[in-house]
Amino acid sequence: MCGITGIWGSTHRRDDVRGMMKLMTHRGPDAEGMFISSEGSGLLGHRRLSIMDPEGGDQPIYNEDSTRAVIANGEIYNFPRLRPELEKTHSFRTTNDSEAILHLYEDHGSLVVKHLDGMFTFAIADGPDFMVARDPIGIKSLYHGRKNGEFMFASELKALAPYCDEIEEFAPGTLYHSQEGFKTFYEVPDILPEDRPIEEFIRELRETLEASVVKRLMSDVPVGAFLSGGLDSSLICALARKHLPELHTFSVGIEGSRDLEAARIVSKYLDTIHHEYILTERELREKLPEIIYYLESFDQDLVRSAFPCFFTSTHCGGKREGHPHGRGRGRTVCGIQVLQGHNGQGVTSRRASQVGLRTAQHKPPARGPHDHGPLDRGPGAIS
């Protein structure tokens, strides 16, 4: 997870961009960089968490003659297939997957988004022109606003709030180009149920899930996995373990919790190197304000899932850098809201989300990403 930000319209507000970057240090503790347009067109800022090409992949990344630059957050899963083709006409400066975005832009302009399979937000400086985009279903967060005619953007609300009066969410599947304005390049379609043998659905589900896990294992740093012992995280760990020589798994929970016991059983079965962190009620209360600060949401389901996400990420941050997880699995079965109708005595109702079903059914042009982690060095929540 990285943080991107910028102001397009002038280069006078360098201190503001530095301030925006500082407010997102937690997203990218390893390095920072700034692009300053020589033409006075604008500024780009980047905070980096080093996953791909840790030594040589700091951003901004420039093209061969340094006339264009890119900053990005996320991962381009089809980078291993893109690079050999791009190398026929371009010279790469790094082995960072974000560089492929820049060279694709040189070849295809704003249609670069049609060639990407991944979760991403990125911005490209091209002389006086500028482009920013967000992945098809909005896995990576992005916000934008304007002040005094200047276009501003950042990965988090807190980075824009001190410097911009009006802020909006940058819509998923959308790009902005300084010459073309806003354009939608992807919308989740409504897909009618198909009458096919159940065996076909089972086979396709297994193949799609395994392919989804495997492409998320691409990393130049060690990979671990969050494990609660539930269906989602256990499936992810089982598939990841199949493709890795060893796998570190991480769990958190209150002493005696069923999740911890279930995770131990799954870990033993999969032969993972397992790590646990025991939570106390006091820690949960004390960390709630901090969790909401990073989460930037009071949504009851997000806050609930953020607790294990936060503590697991804190616990494993020094051991592993990338962490597959099971977040989003519920959308394949319509999703569940467990706190709706809370009456102060306990949870009283649940409901399925048709939006979740539609999201799960769609196939983005990039054969798309499914999970998102708003908080931490290892993006994910426990089931």
- Each residue's pLDDT tens digit, 25-44: 999 999 999 999 999 999 99
Homologous superfamily of 198-361: HUPs (3.40.50.620)
Residue with tokens 């397992």: 274
**pLDDT, tens only, 224-234:** 999 999 999 99
Active site residue 334: no
**pLDDT, tens only, 80-110:** 999 999 999 999 999 999 999 999 999 999 9
- Number of Cβ within 10 Å of residue 345's Cβ equals 6
Instruction: Please give the residue that has the higher pLDDT: either 71 or 368.
Output: 71
**Alpha-carbon span 196 to 207, nearest angstrom:** 17
Domain with CATH 3.60.20.10 in the chain: 3-184
**pLDDT, tens only, 190-214:** 989 899 999 999 999 999 999 999 9
Q: What pLDDT, on a 0 to 100 scale, did the predictor assign at position 191?
A: 87
Q: What pLDDT, on a 0 to 100 scale, did the predictor assign at position 149?
A: 92
Q: What pLDDT, on a 0 to 100 scale, did the predictor assign at position 317?
A: 61
- The most distant pair of C-alpha atoms in the chain lies apart, rounded to whole Å, by 64
Q: What pLDDT, on a 0 to 100 scale, did the predictor assign at position 188?
A: 92
Q: How would you class 151 by CB atoms within 10 Å of its CB: exposed for 0-12, middle for 13-18, buried for 19 or more?
A: middle
Residue 358 has pLDDT above 90, yes or no: no
Options 3.40.190.10, 3.60.20.10, 3.40.630.30, 3.90.470.10; CATH for 3-184 is 3.60.20.10
Q: What pLDDT, on a 0 to 100 scale, did the predictor assign at position 305?
A: 86
Domain with CATH 3.40.50.620 in the chain: 198-361
Residue 280 has pLDDT above 60, yes or no: yes
Q: What pLDDT, on a 0 to 100 scale, did the predictor assign at position 337?
A: 52
304's CB contacts (< 8 A; 6+ apart) are 338, 339
**Alpha-carbon span 6 to 130, nearest angstrom:** 11
